[in-house]
């Protein structure tokens, strides 16, 4: 067997194996320990989730002008019927998905170069990526707005997406580079011998074996774009173009805040990332962000 | 052995040698082929360079201009050289904020790492409904800060809030979690750890998952204690991802604006004002653009230094 | 500049990238010299559409009504208006970046002192001609006394007020009955009432200085002004250490040391404060117009108190005259003015629909049954509006510096220091003065 499969068990086709699973049948003491641990994690989770339970409960508690009693879906249905929540949800999904796709599309090739090409220019660029992203976004928003306004990219989801791609790209490139480092170059060498170009072997060989790396990069970009409001609040004007965090902001008025609507929208905002996490959980257990970076 | 081939291949690639060219390629052949590689690399890198210049480079230059001028957000004003920097560096508020930022970052990074590590280790063992807990424990990271800061405010702000009432009923007095300067600093840091630990948990879980459990079986057969297993097997194996997560979390903590601003606004009496909050308030509430941007600049410089040091650590640990 | 216009033109795709880079290079210069031939057409399209930006001054129903008014505008030369709500969060960034890129409004409401900041930067169109139009139509005489004066600068009217955000003392009647103490009329009786309220578990000087809450700031300045003091002297120079201010702050510190100010107030958001009023923890304190509505207690137990008389016989409170401003970047200055006059004329609808939590600036609106039906409103107009002064006190005219005072760090730190009783009055005022000196432009 070649070392290709052995050297890097976290990459390549061995995706379904759960390395953490004990193989022996658990002893009685092991069973008891298992339930102890279950109790411990249950208690910790319960404490950690108190602030979130508060949020969720409020989202389902009847508002001040409501006649409903007990818990109700009224607030949720109200934000959908009385505000543009559905549109905001759509905008958020579009912006976030576009950000995720484009940042992976930009970061993957760049990460490949950082991983494989170690000339001075390349490692200099790697450090530059690192350095440039440390300027806080609050000082960048105004100049960026002025620049983008000149190109007609304000109050517009495309402009927002470009900024999000720019802000996720640096970390995303790093994450991809780290993952590619864990892919043995012998895979590419084989394809080069078969007559593949550098680009061809990157797309056909390397990318195909990078699903965990791509997914973890995607998740990172997803959360950044999904939760941002500091950029959106300056770049978006029209109600119909708001993303969900902007929708939340719009419930904050001069003298009062519509908390039931804020919380209802917050619950709506929580769902997509939770669904994404729950679905992709199994991929994280093999590789994932840390695993891929650990391979560096 | 194939392993050697892999390594030489990698090191060859790292030297920028073209595919197809042997590791000890004669100069003639190499130049032609690596020209093709360079061209491909150039095109692969281009989109990222354009975005970097546009989204990061341009505002950075803009900020450099603002930091050395006395203007406002609309007009650049006159060149004043290092005056804004000296104003900032001689102001006690800056140093107080720098100190708080340091503590906030240390507690934020290591606090969330320790909690994340503990939970990741716990979740690695077989637990009923483990996957569900994993997803539930990610929630603090997922909830928008505007919302979670409000929830925290409800839990701690007034003497009649849930947690102060709990303390009172336990006979521990009525702590004012946001009104007392020391307690407010602690509360903000705990809040930050609460928001950040899921990220760490995810990083470490993933790193742990790639560790083959047979390593542990072998170790326990050799009579290694749990602690020895942890410190001599687990920790070294997750070292690299730990360094990376520390760097990322350092950047997240130093640059963190909403967590602090929404919970305490930087108070009481600037006890929880971090550098980024100070920069924000100086630019947008005192309307002193030059000094405010100078603060952001100084902060960025410090971050860069810290990151470069940690970056070297990663390189070192990947050589080992 | 040619690079910039080529970017904005439809021929973007071909020359896109080069233009991109050129725009990046030239934009700082553009920002510096204030624009030029921006093809985006500031303030609206060429057809004379006036862009009007408004803030969420009240519930969404308010913005819907205001939008209806704005869109009902039809100018003499066929000009129209569009309406846009701007979020409060980071609004100064929103306005600045829009104005710098020539995509800003032609007319807007906004932060209380925003007009003066943008005037300083040469972006404001003076309202003198609009005022002339108001005089011609007779509406000018409808302004409550004194509301226009603060907006008059050497060069003209910087903005026109449209509502008054008043700070007045409120009290909960049942708590005073329970504490068996008379309503305060001056400072010593405020102290007595506070002590009595404390015995029944309520606070006699309700305030808050937490994230995003300015009421403690306003309470401090109000107490100074109530004692004939203020942040500035009559010539508009910083004058924090005058005897009246010191005396006022010493009095507030006395309230603090007697437990009349909630020790947790330093961290209270406006929501925490509203909850205190609703839950019967607040006996007396400075708040806005229409408190029962805001905190959700319309039982009639929350009432407007009488103004207090200071130790030297002064009676005063503070007011934020919110205003509508016009910008130089407009498709047509005539249309902007026409719109402003039109909008002021329609304002009464907002009070008729009971959407506002502020006083109107027009006498005729204060006489509307929908407004005058609330005795609290009547009392504010009768007793409080005549004694209201601005943040510029003891000076008279508003200016750009007040923006840095209002939301700035110096005042915030000062009021937090006072309400936690962490310092004596003189030291705190001294720190406040030097903090302001470093920020204010001479």
Closest residue by Cα to residue B201 from B288, B259, B142: B142
CB count in 10 Å sphere of residue A134: 22
* Domains held by chain B: number: 1
Closest residue by Cα to residue C159 from C124, C133, C132: C124
Closest residue by Cα to residue B267 from A16, C185, C209, C258: C209
pLDDT at C37: 36
C85 shares contact with chain A (CB less than 8 Å): yes
Q: Do B75 and C34 form a contact (C-beta atoms < 8 A)?
A: yes
Which of C97, C164, C273, C290 is the best substitution to test chain A (most A C-beta atoms within 10 A)?
C97
Q: What is the spatial distance between Cα B241 and Cα A215, in angstroms, rounded to a whole number?
A: 17
Task: Give the E-state strand segments of C136-191 in sequence order.
Answer: 152-153, 156-157, 160-166, 168-172
Distances in whole angstroms, Cα of residue B285 to Cα of each of B280, C93, C105, C165, C407: 8, 10, 22, 20, 5
Q: Do A248 and A229 form a contact (C-beta atoms < 8 A)?
A: yes
Q: Domains (ranges, CATH) in chain C? A: 41-165+321-372 (3.40.190.10), 168-287+408-439 (3.40.190.10)
Bridge-based pairing state of the strands C317-327 and C388-389: parallel
Q: Is the dihedral of CA C421, C424, C425, C426 positive or negative?
A: negative
Which residues on chain C are in Cβ contact (under 8 Å) with B261? 211
* Helix/strand number for chain C, H first, E second: 20, 13
CB count in 10 Å sphere of residue C96: 27
| Chain-chain contact of A37 with B122 (C-beta, under 8 angstroms) | yes
The chain B residue lying nearest C118, using CA atoms, is: B74
* Nearest-neighbour CA in chain C from A143: distance (Å): 7
Give the nearest partner residue to A38 out of B19, B124, B128, using CB atoms: B128
B67 shares contact with chain C (CB less than 8 Å): no
> Taking a contact as any Cβ pair under 8 Å apart, which residues of chain A between 115 and 144 contact chain C?
141-143
In a domain, B62, yes or no: no
ipTM surpassing 0.95, yes or no?
Answer: no
Which residues on chain C are in Cβ contact (under 8 Å) with B265? 210-213, 412
- Cis? peptide before C169, omega within 30° of 0: no
Which stretches in chain B have pLDDT values below 70?
1-33, 210-212, 315-320
With a CB cutoff of 8 Å and minimum separation 6, the contacts of A287 are A10, A11, A179, A212, A213, A216, B206, B209, B210
Which residues on chain A are in Cβ contact (under 8 Å) with C3? none
B53 shares contact with chain C (CB less than 8 Å): yes
Q: What is the spatial distance between Cα B140 and Cα B163, in angstroms, rounded to a whole number?
A: 18
Which residues on chain A are in Cβ contact (under 8 Å) with C87? 233, 246, 249-250, 252
Q: What is the mean pLDDT of residues C233-258?
A: 95
Q: Do C310 and C186 form a contact (C-beta atoms < 8 A)?
A: yes
Structure confidence by residue, pLDDT tens digits, C160-192? 999 999 999 999 999 999 999 999 999 999 999
Give the three-class secondary structure for A257: strand
Residue ranges of the alpha helices (H) in A25-116? 28-48, 50-60, 74-82, 85-116
B76 shares contact with chain C (CB less than 8 Å): yes
Domain extent for B148: 93-319
* CB burial readout C301-338, b (16+ within 10 A) else e: ebbbbbbbbbeeebbbbbbbbbbbbbbbbbbbbebbbb
B147 shares contact with chain C (CB less than 8 Å): no
Which tokens go with A117?
């090409």
B98 shares contact with chain C (CB less than 8 Å): no
Structure confidence by residue, pLDDT tens digits, A125-154? 887 887 777 778 878 888 888 888 888 888
Which residues on chain A are in Cβ contact (under 8 Å) with B308? 127, 130
pLDDT at C428 over 60: yes
In a domain, B52, yes or no: no
User: What is the CATH number for B244?
Assistant: 1.10.3720.10
Q: What is the spatial distance between Cα C61 and Cα C58, in angstroms, rounded to a whole number?
A: 8
With a CB cutoff of 8 Å and minimum separation 6, the contacts of C143 are C161, C361, C362, C363
Task: Give the E-state strand segments of C264-395 in sequence order.
Answer: 284-287, 302-304, 317-327, 359-360, 388-389
Q: Do A85 and A265 form a contact (C-beta atoms < 8 A)?
A: yes
In a domain, B105, yes or no: yes
Beta bridge partners of C323: C161
pLDDT at A291 over 50: no
Structure confidence by residue, pLDDT tens digits, C32-72? 333 333 333 444 444 589 999 999 998 888 999 999 999 99
Percent of chain C at pLDDT > 90 equals: 74
Q: Is CATH 3.40.50.720 what the domain over A84-283 is classified as, yes or no?
A: no
> Taking a contact as any Cβ pair under 8 Å apart, which residues of chain C between 391 and 420 contact chain B?
403-404, 407-410, 412-413, 416-417, 420
Give the nearest partner residue to A278 out of B44, B135, B148, using CB atoms: B135
| Chain-chain contact of B142 with A270 (C-beta, under 8 angstroms) | yes
| Chain-chain contact of B74 with C121 (C-beta, under 8 angstroms) | yes
* Nearest-neighbour CA in chain C from A226: distance (Å): 18
* Helix/strand number for chain A, H first, E second: 15, 0
Q: What angle do CA B134, B208, B317 make, to 5 degrees?
A: 135
Q: Do A213 and A176 form a contact (C-beta atoms < 8 A)?
A: yes
Q: What is the spatial distance between Cα A290 and Cα A212, in angstroms, rounded to a whole number?
A: 10
In a domain, B26, yes or no: no
Which residues on chain B are in Cβ contact (under 8 Å) with A128? 52
B8 shares contact with chain A (CB less than 8 Å): no
Q: What is the mean pLDDT of residues A219-239?
A: 87
Touching partners of A (3+ C-beta pairs < 8 Å): B, C
Exposed, middle or buried by CB within 10 Å (0-12, 13-18, 19+), for A165?
buried
In a domain, B65, yes or no: no
Q: Do B72 and B289 form a contact (C-beta atoms < 8 A)?
A: yes
Structure confidence by residue, pLDDT tens digits, A166-188? 988 888 888 788 778 777 788 78
Beta bridge partners of C52: C83, C107
The chain A residue lying nearest B73, using CA atoms, is: A142
Structure confidence by residue, pLDDT tens digits, C256-306? 999 999 999 999 999 899 999 999 999 999 999 989 988 888 899 999 999
- Give the helix/strand (H/E) hosting C107: strand C107-108
Centroid of chain to Cα B250: 3
B278 shares contact with chain A (CB less than 8 Å): no
Distances in whole angstroms, Cα of residue B306 to Cα of each of B248, B251, C405: 11, 9, 36
Give the nearest partner residue to B285 out of C24, C96, C408, using CB atoms: C408
Bridge-based pairing state of the strands C160-166 and C317-327: antiparallel
């Amino acid at each position: 067997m070649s070392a290709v499969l052995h050297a890097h068990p976290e990459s390549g086709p061995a995706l379904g194996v759960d390395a953490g699973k004990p193989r022996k049948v658990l002893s009685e003491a092991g069973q008891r320990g298992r339930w102890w641990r279950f109790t411990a994690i249950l208690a910790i989770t319960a404490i950690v989730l108190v602030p979130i339970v508060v949020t969720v409960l409020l989202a389902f508690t009847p508002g001040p002008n409501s006649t409903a009693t007990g818990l109700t879906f009224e607030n949720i249905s109200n934000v959908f019927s009385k505000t543009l929540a559905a549109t905001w949800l759509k905008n958020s999904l579009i912006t976030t998905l576009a950000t995720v796709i484009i940042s992976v599309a930009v970061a993957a090739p760049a990460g490949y170069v950082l991983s494989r090409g170690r000339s001075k220019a390349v490692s200099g660029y790697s450090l530059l990526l690192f350095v440039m992203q440390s300027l806080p976004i609050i000082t960048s928003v105004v100049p960026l707005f002025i620049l983008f306004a000149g190109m007609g990219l304000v109050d517009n989801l495309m402009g927002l997406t470009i900024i999000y791609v720019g802000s996720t790209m640096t970390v995303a490139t790093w994450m991809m580079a780290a993952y590619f480092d864990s892919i043995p170059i012998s895979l590419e060498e084989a394809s080069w011998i078969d007559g593949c170009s550098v680009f061809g072997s990157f797309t056909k060989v390397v990318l195909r074996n990078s699903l965990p790396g791509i997914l973890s990069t995607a998740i990172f970009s997803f959360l950044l774009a999904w939760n941002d409001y500091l950029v959106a609040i300056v770049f978006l004007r029209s109600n119909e173009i708001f993303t969900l965090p902007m929708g939340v902001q719009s419930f904050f008025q001069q003298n009062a805040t519509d908390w039931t609507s804020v919380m209802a929208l917050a619950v709506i905002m929580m769902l997509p990332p939770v669904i994404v996490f729950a679905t992709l959980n199994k991929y994280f257990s093999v590789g994932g962000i840390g695993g891929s970076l650990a391979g560096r | 052995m194939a392993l050697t081939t892999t390594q030489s291949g990698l090191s060859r690639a790292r030297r920028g040698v073209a595919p197809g060219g042997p590791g000890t390629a004669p100069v003639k052949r190499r130049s032609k082929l690596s020209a093709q590689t360079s061209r491909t690399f150039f095109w692969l890198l281009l989109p990222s360079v354009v975005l970097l210049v546009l989204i990061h480079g341009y505002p950075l230059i803009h900020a450099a201009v603002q930091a050395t001028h006395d203007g406002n957000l609309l007009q650049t004003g006159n060149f004043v050289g290092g005056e804004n920097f000296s104003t900032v560096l001689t102001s006690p508020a800056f140093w107080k904020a720098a100190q708080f930022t340091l503590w906030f970052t240390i507690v934020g990074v290591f606090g969330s790492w320790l909690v994340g590590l503990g939970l990741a280790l716990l979740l690695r063992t077989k637990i009923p409904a483990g996957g569900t807990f994993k997803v539930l424990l990610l929630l603090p990271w997922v909830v928008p800060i505007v919302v979670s800061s409000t929830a925290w405010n409800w839990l701690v702000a007034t003497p009649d809030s849930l947690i102060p009432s709990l303390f009172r009923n336990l006979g521990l007095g009525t702590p004012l979690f946001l009104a007392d300067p020391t307690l407010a600093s602690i509360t903000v840091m705990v809040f930050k750890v609460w928001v950040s630990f899921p990220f760490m948990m995810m990083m470490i879980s993933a790193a742990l998952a790639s560790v083959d459990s047979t390593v542990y079986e072998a170790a326990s057969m050799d009579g290694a204690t749990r602690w020895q297993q942890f410190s001599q097997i687990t920790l070294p194996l997750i070292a690299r991802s730990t360094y990376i997560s520390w760097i990322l979390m350092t950047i997240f903590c130093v640059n963190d604006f909403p967590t602090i601003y929404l919970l305490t606004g930087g108070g009481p009496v600037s006890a929880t004002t971090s550098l980024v909050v100070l920069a924000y308030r100086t630019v947008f509430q005192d309307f002193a653009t030059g000094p405010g941007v100078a603060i952001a600049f100084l902060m960025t410089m410090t971050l860069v230094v810290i990151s470069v040091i940690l970056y070297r650590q990663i390189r070192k640990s990947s050589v080992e | 500049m040619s690079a910039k216009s080529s970017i904005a033109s439809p021929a973007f795709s071909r020359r896109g990238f080069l233009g991109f880079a050129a725009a990046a290079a030239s934009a700082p210069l553009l920002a510096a010299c204030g624009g030029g031939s921006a093809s985006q057409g500031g303030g609206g399209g060429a057809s004379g559409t006036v862009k009007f930006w408004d803030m969420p001054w009240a519930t969404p129903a308010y913005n819907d009504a205001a939008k209806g008014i704005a869109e009902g505008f039809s100018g003499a030369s066929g000009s129209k208006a569009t309406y846009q709500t701007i979020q409060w969060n980071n609004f100064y960034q929103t306005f600045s970046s829009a104005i710098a890129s020539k995509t800003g409004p032609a007319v807007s409401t906004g932060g209380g002192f925003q007009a003066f900041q943008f005037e300083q930067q040469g972006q404001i169109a003076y309202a003198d001609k609009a005022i002339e139009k108001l005089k011609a139509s007779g509406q000018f005489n409808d302004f409550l006394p004194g509301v226009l004066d603060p907006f008059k600068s050497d060069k003209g009217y910087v903005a026109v007020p449209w509502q008054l955000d008043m700070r007045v003392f409120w009290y909960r009647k049942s708590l005073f009955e329970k504490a068996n103490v008379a309503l305060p009329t001056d400072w010593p009786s405020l102290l007595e009432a506070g002590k009595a309220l404390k015995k029944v578990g309520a606070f006699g000087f309700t305030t808050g200085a937490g994230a995003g809450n300015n009421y403690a700031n306003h309470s401090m300045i109000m107490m100074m002004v109530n004692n004939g003091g203020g942040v500035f002297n009559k010539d508009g120079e910083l004058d924090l250490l005058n005897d009246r201010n010191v005396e006022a702050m010493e009095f507030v510190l006395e309230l603090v040391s007697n437990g009349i100010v909630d020790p947790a107030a330093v961290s209270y958001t406006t929501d925490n404060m509203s909850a205190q009023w609703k839950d019967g923890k607040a006996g007396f304190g400075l708040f806005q117009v229409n408190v029962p509505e805001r905190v959700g207690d319309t039982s009639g137990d929350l009432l407007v108190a009488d103004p207090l008389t200071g130790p030297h016989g002064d009676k005063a409170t503070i007011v934020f005259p919110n205003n509508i401003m016009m910008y130089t970047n407009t498709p047509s200055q005539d249309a902007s003015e026409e719109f402003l006059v039109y909008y002021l004329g329609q304002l009464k609808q907002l009070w008729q629909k009971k959407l506002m939590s502020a006083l109107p600036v027009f006498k005729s609106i204060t006489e509307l049954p929908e407004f005058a039906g609330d005795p609290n409103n009547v009392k504010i107009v009768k007793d409080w509006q005549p004694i209201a002064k601005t943040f510029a006190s003891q000076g008279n005219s508003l200016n750009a510096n007040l923006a840095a005072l209002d939301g700035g760090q110096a005042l915030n730190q000062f009021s937090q220091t006072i309400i936690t009783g962490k310092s004596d009055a003189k030291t705190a005022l001294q720190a406040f003065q030097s903090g302001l000196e470093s920020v204010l432009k001479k």
